[in-house]
Structure 1
Amino acid sequence: MCTEMNLQTLFQDFNPSKFVVHSCLLVFTALLALKLDGAITWSYWAVFTPIWVWKFLVVLGATVGTYVWWQYPHFRLEGEAYIHYKAMLISLAIHLILLMFELLVCDQLSLKRHVWILVFIPIIFISIVSIAICIWCVRHDRSYELELFCAVNILQFIFLALKLDEFINWSWEVVFVPLWILMCLSLVGVLYSIIFAGMLLRTAEANVQQRRSSFHAALAYTFTVIPILVFLVLLTNKLDDGMQLSYTVVASPLFVGFATLIVMSFSSKGGNKWWFGIRKDFCQFLLSVFPLLQEYANIAYNNNINRGSNVVPTEPPVTQEPYRDEDTKKVKESKNHKNQKKNEAMKPVVPVTSIDMPD
């Protein structure tokens, strides 16, 4: 058994934004399932607490980032600062409109004094605007996962609003047709990632890092898409056929998917550096705030345990510290020898003159 831990490697590709979003969604899904099952008697305003925490962090991060932007003008000259700041403002606008939708949903679930079409107007507006935002993000090499999700599900949001208001009497299986199409495309992507990972494992030219990355990507996509598909099938059967399963059991595949996304956030890289005005990668910011972590971040722990058999000591590497001085001397002697030969070759050749002595 071999375990290795390196704190710097763990956090250098960490994406805190995705970690916060997926963690809040995981807790919210669990609370909502328990509420629908009657296991907890909280109000919907309390059930939506993880969502409020998510939006509070977004507003707070954008506020601090804006303060740093206007308080320290020289920070605007750092690399792509303008693009990062604009991306943060666009994300803030999207989250504020999404917050309006969530407030309307919570109020409708609590008091039922609106029609669902009115409730879904903000999310439909986000879906329309997200098309233009996705184009802007592609041009400036920015991430756009939330915007892409809203843009491809605009038809699904319309169907949900019409179904909840009973303007259409379709079955839920038909209402979820846009999601079925999206899941089919996602399954094609998962199949492609698995085939690509298998090809790299059998390719001799691929290095270990490429094989490991492709294998991890295929594994992550599989444990994200398949649970969502299972959840959609269970939810459809429960809403249409009244399957005797609790909402907690129905939502359990989503827990696996969100857990996978949380783990993936440690290798997602990217992220906007202007949230909270940190202007650097999260790992560097964390080490600058907590200097004591620098000592542990530069240490890799390797614990080799082989139970039931004798441990064979490994040979030291070829280049060890004691041999460096000797190797350096040999290199210097070789260079001096070459320089000496070169100097001798560059000396002018003078003919030998013989002077005869008189008798």
Structure 2
Amino acid sequence: MNLHTIFQDFNPSKFVVHTCLFIFTALFALRLDNRVTWSYWTVFTPIWVWKVLVITGATVGSYVWWRYPHFRLEGEAYIHYKSMLISLALHLILLMFELLVCDKLESSRHLWTLVFIPLIFISIVSIAISIWAVKHDRSFELELFCAVNVLQFIFLALRLDGFITWSWEVVFVPLWIVMCLSLVGVLYTIIFAAILFRTPEVNAQQRRSSFQSAVGYTFLVIPILIFQVLLANKLDDDIKMSYIAVVSPLFISFFTLILMSFSAKGGNKWWFGMRKDFCSFVLGMCPLLQEYANIAYHSERRANGVELQQVDKNDKYNLKKNDHLKPVLPIVSIETPD
């Protein structure tokens, strides 16, 4: 058992977001199928949990920032903190959109065009934020998603209000274009992985990494494309399927994203004032886990049937690097003479 190996590249932010979206998608589809009769405010609970964590994390991070000024001198602290504030602002505007959606679904007292105004505003602002993120080497998945779909959001609002009467296949044209570009990217990763597999000069680690990327992006993009086709046909009454069946391909994409969050690396170190990667923060807060993270055991069976626990060589090396961690002594069996 080696927790450090498992969580050293873990991105908790992406894990929380994708898990909440996974649960919300399932609940929303069940609500549309009338298999559950909860209010939409209850159905949106995973979204509220996501936003509460974002606001709480930014609040704690800001408190640590202003309470301990010497922490600001740590590497790229200013860039990390500014990135956290930008992300918080976008999530607050996104929260406004989600609140309007819930109110619209419950009361129908607003036009969808008014509901989508915060999301369209986010999409426009996200263009500038994406440029800033590229210059400062920051991740911008949410911003990029909103920036490339601004026209799609406008079409959705107009179609839901009846200002345009196009079929849903036409309404989804901007998304079809994005998906076509995504398929080109998936094809590139597959070809690149195949080239590395046939190149003898490439080491095994690079081959494995390229293969995992190709498989991951394939299981991410293809199910989304299938979902989009099913949804367009469902809304146009071309097929008779339940909404839970329509969104079922999305579950594969969300599950893939959840798995990929364990190797996503990155993440903002100022959320909740951690100032370090998630693995180091957890090990620092739980000294008991330090022992398991730095020492792994495996059992070897001797000829006489007595098991002996040994320490891996790699973990001995980790112990030398982390002398401040308290090691767990291996238990050696004592053989008694016959």
Question: Does residue 1:11 correspond to 2:7, yes or no?
Answer: yes
Question: Does residue 1:124 correspond to 2:124, yes or no?
Answer: no
User: What residue is the counterpart of 1:236 in the other structure?
Assistant: 232
5+ unaligned residues in a row in structure 1: which ranges? 305-320, 322-359
In the aligned structure 2, how far is the partner of 1:227 from the partner of 1:302? 39
- Summarize the alignment of residues 160-309 of structure 1 with structure 2, pairs less than 5 Å apart: 160-300=156-296
List, as ranges, runs of 4+ consecutive aligned residues in structure 1 with deviation greater than 6 Å. none
The residue identity in structure 2 corresponding to 1:123 is L
Question: Does residue 1:20 correspond to 2:54, yes or no?
Answer: no
> Number of paired residues?
302
Question: Alpha carbons of 1:298 and 1:246: their partners in 2 closer, same or farther (altered >3 Å)?
Answer: same
The Cα of 1:272 is off from its aligned counterpart by: 0.2
Query: What secondary structure does 1:26 align onto?
Result: helix
The Cα of 1:300 is off from its aligned counterpart by: 3.9
User: What residue is the counterpart of 1:82 in the other structure?
Assistant: 78
Question: Alpha carbons of 1:296 and 1:173: their partners in 2 closer, same or farther (altered >3 Å)?
Answer: same
Q: TM-score, normalised to structure 1's length?
A: 0.82
In the aligned structure 2, how far is the partner of 1:157 from the partner of 1:295? 50
The Cα of 1:146 is off from its aligned counterpart by: 0.2
Residues 46-97 of structure 1, C-alpha deviations (whole Å, 9 max, x = no match): 0000000000000000000000000000000000000000000000000000
In the aligned structure 1, how far is the partner of 2:40 from the partner of 2:245? 20
- Summarize the alignment of residues 311-322 of structure 1 with structure 2, pairs less than 5 Å apart: none
The Cα of 1:145 is off from its aligned counterpart by: 0.5
Of 236-245 and 81-90, deviating more is 236-245
User: What residue is the counterpart of 2:321 in the other structure?
Assistant: none
The Cα of 1:241 is off from its aligned counterpart by: 2.7
User: What residue is the counterpart of 1:153 in the other structure?
Assistant: 149
Question: Alpha carbons of 1:190 and 1:302: their partners in 2 closer, same or farther (altered >3 Å)?
Answer: farther
Question: Alpha carbons of 1:299 and 1:120: their partners in 2 closer, same or farther (altered >3 Å)?
Answer: same
User: What residue is the counterpart of 2:307 in the other structure?
Assistant: none
Residues 181-219 of structure 1, C-alpha deviations (whole Å, 9 max, x = no match): 000000000001001001111110000110000000000
Query: What secondary structure does 1:79 align onto?
Result: coil
> Out of 77, 97, 104, which is 1:101 matched to?
97
Query: What secondary structure does 2:236 align onto?
Result: helix
Question: Does residue 1:137 correspond to 2:144, yes or no?
Answer: no
Question: Does residue 1:54 correspond to 2:50, yes or no?
Answer: yes
In the aligned structure 1, how far is the partner of 2:29 from the partner of 2:144? 26
The Cα of 1:244 is off from its aligned counterpart by: 1.3
The residue identity in structure 1 corresponding to 2:111 is V
The residue identity in structure 2 corresponding to 1:27 is I
CA radius of gyration, larger in: 1
In the aligned structure 2, how far is the partner of 1:177 from the partner of 1:141? 31
In the aligned structure 1, how far is the partner of 2:149 from the partner of 2:141? 12
- Summarize the alignment of residues 319-334 of structure 1 with structure 2, pairs less than 5 Å apart: none
Q: TM-score, normalised to structure 2's length?
A: 0.87
The Cα of 1:13 is off from its aligned counterpart by: 0.3
In the aligned structure 2, how far is the partner of 1:97 from the partner of 1:213? 36
In the aligned structure 2, how far is the partner of 1:132 from the partner of 1:182? 19
Query: What secondary structure does 2:37 align onto?
Result: coil
Q: Give me the identity figure in percent.
A: 76
In the aligned structure 2, how far is the partner of 1:299 from the partner of 1:156? 51
The Cα of 1:45 is off from its aligned counterpart by: 0.1
The residue identity in structure 1 corresponding to 2:268 is N
Question: Does residue 1:31 correspond to 2:27, yes or no?
Answer: yes
In the aligned structure 2, how far is the partner of 1:270 from the partner of 1:225? 22
The Cα of 1:299 is off from its aligned counterpart by: 3.2
**RMSD of aligned residue pairs (Cα, Å):** 1.5
User: What residue is the counterpart of 1:316 in the other structure?
Assistant: none
In the aligned structure 1, how far is the partner of 2:299 from the partner of 2:202? 28
Residues 108-142 of structure 1, C-alpha deviations (whole Å, 9 max, x = no match): 00000000110000000000000000011011110
The residue identity in structure 1 corresponding to 2:19 is S
User: What residue is the counterpart of 1:330 in the other structure?
Assistant: none
5+ unaligned residues in a row in structure 2: which ranges? 301-315, 317-338
In the aligned structure 1, how far is the partner of 2:262 from the partner of 2:197? 24
Question: Alpha carbons of 1:303 and 1:37: their partners in 2 closer, same or farther (altered >3 Å)?
Answer: farther
The residue identity in structure 2 corresponding to 1:41 is T
Of 146-155 and 289-298, deviating more is 289-298
